[in-house]
Amino acid sequence: MSGVKRTVVWVALLVVGVALIGLGVFLGVTRLDDADKWGSVIAAMVAVLGLPMTAYGVVLARRQGSAAGGQSVAGSVVRGGVMQVRRVRGNVRIGPAASRAPAAAGGSPTSGTTGPGGPGGQSVTGSWMAGGVRQVDDVGGDVDVDR
Q: What is the pLDDT of residues 85-130, one digit of tens each?
A: 777 777 777 776 555 544 444 444 444 444 444 556 777 777 877 7
| First vs last C-alpha separation in the chain | 53
Per-residue pLDDT, averaged over 64-83, amounts to 70
Angle at alpha carbon of residue 126, lines to 125 and 132, rounded to 5°: 65
pTM for the structure as a whole:
0.38
3-state secondary structure of 77: strand
C-alpha 97/C-alpha 110 separation (Å) is 22
